[in-house]
């Protein structure tokens, strides 16, 4: 497979980055909140999974959910086709957030919005 890509780059006299950009692939970004209690992660995930309305309310400042997958965390496709994925760490007190969007800037903004929503939710919890 790598020879095919290198051949394509050579044939078009373009760097691999330009070849990749021509496919208009989404940009991905990820980060985590460290020292995020495991119990808080579990409560957040239970809240988000409890009802579509909970998920919509949580994501309202970010975007409108159009579909969600409960495999390996909670992966949500928004109405504008951006993706945000919440996942507690399996081996550390961390809450992770992964995103996909059409541009690097949009992915960065979505990631910060997702992490901000997690922080806000955890900060308003009294349990």
CATH number at residue 71: 3.30.310.50
Q: What is the pLDDT of residue 125?
A: 55
* Phi, psi at 2, each rounded to 5°: -65, -35
Q: Is residue 10 one of the residues assigned to a domain? A: no
Q: Which domain holds residue 46?
A: 25-123
115 near 61, Cβ under 8 Å? no
The 3-state DSSP composition of the chain as helix, strand, coil percent (nearest 5) reads 45, 25, 30
pLDDT, tens digit (0-9, with 9 covering 90-100), for 1-29: 789 989 989 999 999 888 888 888 899 99
Look at residue 126 in the predicted model and tell me its pLDDT.
Answer: 44
In a domain, 90, yes or no: yes
Tokens linked to 21: 């950009």
Q: Is 7 within the bounds of a domain?
A: no
Total tally of structural domains belonging to the chain: 1
């Amino acid at each position: 497979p790598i020879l095919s890509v290198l051949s394509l780059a050579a044939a078009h006299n373009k760097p691999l980055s330009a070849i990749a950009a021509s496919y208009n692939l989404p940009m991905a970004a990820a980060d985590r909140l460290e020292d995020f209690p495991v119990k808080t992660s579990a409560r957040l995930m239970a809240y988000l999974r409890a009802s579509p309305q909970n998920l919509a309310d949580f994501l309202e400042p970010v975007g409108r959910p159009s579909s969600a997958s409960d495999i390996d965390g909670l992966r949500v496709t928004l109405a504008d086709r951006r993706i945000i994925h919440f996942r507690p760490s399996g081996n550390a007190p961390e809450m992770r957030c992964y995103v996909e969007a059409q541009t690097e800037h949009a992915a960065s903004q979505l990631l910060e919005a997702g992490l901000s929503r997690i922080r806000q939710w955890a900060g308003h919890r009294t349990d």
